[in-house]
């Protein structure tokens, strides 16, 4: 899914301006890599939603990210809409720092990693070097998305449409009828809350007992309100927004 940074999500987007009731997820915190991280039990696995917008899967030494949208700025430039051409470098720098901090051995990219199928070829040399170092240094898997349906074959890593990993289904967009625990991206969810009279927007995870949607990791991505009807159709009405904050994982019940 693609939402231009700074643009409104959709004419149909539902925005909450009142306070959400919130609670802290009751899980023991884990201390490691210089930070306190709060794990979440999901599908029989312990996963850690990170403030950077990724999922750490300690049992597999794995990192999951969604919606990098690399080379989005250069895609817009081809149609005459000029944006600062640094989005890929910024995103890959953030991803490199996170891979190094957590010392993971696996990386799973849950689709729309490039803004279009030629994005890998347009990467600046420095970004290509950074990406190839990442794919060479880890077991890297690209899951295809709607922006990059044909995958990536020139930047390293393996390409699959979806994957079942230790009982968890990994794909780009959630399937409403999927009975197995499922992790996905696509919607770029954001939570909007009013705090002391000011409306604050923050990327979030959307979770139910069997579905977990990751926010967009890319630096040049907008967001869709977590209560948007498209997200509700994908995950159901009994969903929560999860927001990692320092040593806490805040849970906000979403009223569709």
Q: Look at residue 84 in the predicted model and tell me its pLDDT.
A: 54
DSSP code, position 158: E
Distance between CA atoms of residues 32 and 28, nearest Å = 13
Spatial contact of 217 and 53, defined as CB atoms under 8 Å apart: yes
Q: In percent, how much of the chain has pLDDT > 90? A: 54
Dihedral sign (CA 150, 207, 32, 219): positive
Residue-wise pLDDT tens digits, 149-202: 576 667 889 999 999 999 999 999 999 999 999 999 999 999 988 778 888 888
Q: Look at residue 192 in the predicted model and tell me its pLDDT.
A: 85
Distance between CA atoms of residues 69 and 95, nearest Å = 13
Dihedral sign (CA 126, 214, 40, 64): negative
Spatial contact of 67 and 23, defined as CB atoms under 8 Å apart: no
Q: 0.75 exceeded by the pTM?
A: yes
- Domains parsed from the chain with CATH numbers: 23-253 (3.60.21)
Distance between CA atoms of residues 155 and 97, nearest Å = 19
Distance between CA atoms of residues 52 and 243, nearest Å = 10
Q: Look at residue 116 in the predicted model and tell me its pLDDT.
A: 63
């Amino acid at each position: 899914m693609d939402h231009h940074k700074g643009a409104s999500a959709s004419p149909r987007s539902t925005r909450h301006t009142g306070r959400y009731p919130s609670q802290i997820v009751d899980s023991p915190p884990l201390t490691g890599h210089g930070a306190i991280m709060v794990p979440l039990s999901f599908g029989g696995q312990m996963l850690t939603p990170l403030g950077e917008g990724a999922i750490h899967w300690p049992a597999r030494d794995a990192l999951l990210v969604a919606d990098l949208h690399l080379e989005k700025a250069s895609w817009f430039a081809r149609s005459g809409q000029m944006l600062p051409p640094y989005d890929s470098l910024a995103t890959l720098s953030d991803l490199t720092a996170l891979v190094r901090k957590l010392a993971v051995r696996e990386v799973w990219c849950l689709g729309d990693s490039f803004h279009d199928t030629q994005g890998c070829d347009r990467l600046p040399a420095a970004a290509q070097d950074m990406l190839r170092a990442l794919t060479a240094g880890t077991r890297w898997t690209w899951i295809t998305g709607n922006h990059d349906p044909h995958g990536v074959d020139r930047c390293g890593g393996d390409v699959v449409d979806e994957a079942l990993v230790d009982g968890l289904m990994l794909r780009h967009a959630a399937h409403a009828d999927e009975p197995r625990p499922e992790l996905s991206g696509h919607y770029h969810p954001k939570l909007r809350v009013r705090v002391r009279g000011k409306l604050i927007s923050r990327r979030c995870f959307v979770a139910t007992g069997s579905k977990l949607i990751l926010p967009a990791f890319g630096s040049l991505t907008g967001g869709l309100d977590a209560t948007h009807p498209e997200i509700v159709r994908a995950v159901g009405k009994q969903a929560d927004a999860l927001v990692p904050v320092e040593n806490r994982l805040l849970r906000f019940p979403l009223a569709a």
